[in-house]
Structure 1
């Protein structure tokens, strides 16, 4: 399909002010729900965790038991890479007063003077669910495996609320310094297992990459996501392993110089596709946009993304003579 520069400019457009307000409203909604069960914001305002992003945040605490929570808008809304087909605001409710550590071999909590926590991830999820149901009178609240879905209407925002522990990775610490860790979040699905993510690093890395590419990185992430949606509508068979976060991470690994070669969106996007096709051998070393976890966990997953890039390269065309 042949795309015009104007079309790509539309696909590249960032969130509107009204959509950014959705992020703040999602935080307010959760804050107000948690207040009903004893938490307080100590009259502090919702703030941007990282400037120039819609990653709004707020701290809460419960005086009765000393629990501390950190509310953070994460995902595509927080990173300002959202496209119109994505409507849910993703908010992490992170338990800060209890954490899950990860140590080197033969190291234990005793080396750091830590004691066992008494509040479980399951307990946190139960608590958040109870608060949301109390606020909305049991209407539109669905407990899913990893999150609690809030179905939006005229007075509340479509949201995925993700209760999580703070995760601390001490494997790089050799001095037994309690403050020397890589911080992430750990989600415990109802079905079992554990998922470790790094939303704060994701937000900071995305902002830095965008600045280093003269604000082209996030524009082309939005274009890439839109292309995926258009291809699906056109009948292309796209495997479910091709995620929005995966595409965002894929473009995060591309050298800044690829973004800097041209000004026009259609030329830059073409350069991105050429670079990816010509450097498939680099995929094995790619990281997620958080810079911590490997992007691909299997050769099958790599092959899926390579196949997608090949299809997109055939699908994407533009008029080189357009002014």
Structure 2
């Protein structure tokens, strides 16, 4: 089930509190930035008791870009950024701003996110992700472009996300399937939570379950005489697409439609998906 109204109020309050912390920090005076909720909270695919809030604090002073499958035009005349905002400095100032607002409750030890501890009765756990504006050009003349965010972990390679595309496409698919897309994404997440708690499988990123359901055809999601039968059909469809151990699905996408699900460097594998689907089937006694 989705978050209750009480949890939703806590999540909204968390976003307001983070925004107030960033807005009040002197180092950010006059700096262009964007603060927004992302992930399962923003997309309404979170489940009760598993509803931490992901909030991006995105620097708009510096634009990162890449040319995808096309030739990059000459850089002559292209403006370059000569400001002070490097990824380490951006992260350090965000951490300082949050420390000032939430003393003793903030941890910067994470590789990607800065974490603010849950405060009972007022807010859930908050993951604050420092990021930068990013654009992917799919044509040399820049007429085909996709705007997103670029995140620089403390270790490892940068991560590119497309939160707005994920939100828009997910909303459209949910409408086409009479709400079953997000309902079944939450169902798979709930099953994964229980399977992890039971020690049956290892913990998987919440986003992975949303990705799997995203790839299920609309007519499968809307089939079945009731929700239980429909979810059973979803698991069968996923299993049939994943059961060949030596075959990697190269056509499945993330919900943003701009990244393949099983790309190099992904935090999951087809084997993880097979294990999850089979364990969910057995857990539900289908």
Q: What is the TM-score normalised by the length of structure 2?
A: 0.87
CA RMSD of aligned residues (A): 2.3
Does the Cα contact within 8 Å between 1:23 and 1:73 map onto a contact in 2? no
Does the Cα contact within 8 Å between 2:4 and 2:48 map onto a contact in 1? no
Q: What is the aligned partner in structure 2 of residue 269 from structure 1?
A: 231
The alpha carbon displacement at 1:105 in A equals: 4.3
Aligned partners of 1:18, 1:222: CA distance in 2, in Å? 18
Q: Which structure is larger by alpha-carbon Rg, 1 or 2? A: 1
- Spell out the pairing of 1:298-317 with structure 2 (5 A cutoff): 301-317=269-285
- For the residue of structure 1 that corresponds to 2:238, the secondary structure is helix
Aligned partners of 1:227, 1:157: CA distance in 2, in Å? 21
- Spell out the pairing of 1:168-317 with structure 2 (5 A cutoff): 168-170=135-137, 172-176=138-142, 180-236=144-200, 238-240=201-203, 242-280=204-242, 283-297=249-263, 301-317=269-285
Q: What is the aligned partner in structure 1 of residue 14 from structure 2?
A: 26
From the superposition, tell whether residues 108 and 192 of structure 1 become closer, same or farther in structure 2 (CA, over 3 Å). farther
Q: What is the aligned partner in structure 2 of residue 14 from structure 1?
A: 2
Q: What is the aligned partner in structure 2 of residue 123 from structure 1?
A: 89
Runs of 4+ in 1 over 3 A off after TM superposition: 104-111, 154-157
Q: Is there any run of 5+ residues in structure 1 with no aligned partner, and where?
A: 1-12, 40-60, 319-323
Aligned partners of 2:259, 2:105: CA distance in 1, in Å? 34
Structure number with greater CO (CA < 8 Å, separation at least 6) is 1
Indicate which of 105, 119, 123 corresponds to 1:140: 105
- Give the count of matched residue pairs: 275
Aligned partners of 1:192, 1:286: CA distance in 2, in Å? 25
From the superposition, tell whether residues 75 and 316 of structure 1 become closer, same or farther in structure 2 (CA, over 3 Å). same
User: Is structure 2 residue 51 aligned with structure 1 residue 84?
Assistant: no
Does the Cα contact within 8 Å between 2:71 and 2:140 map onto a contact in 1? no
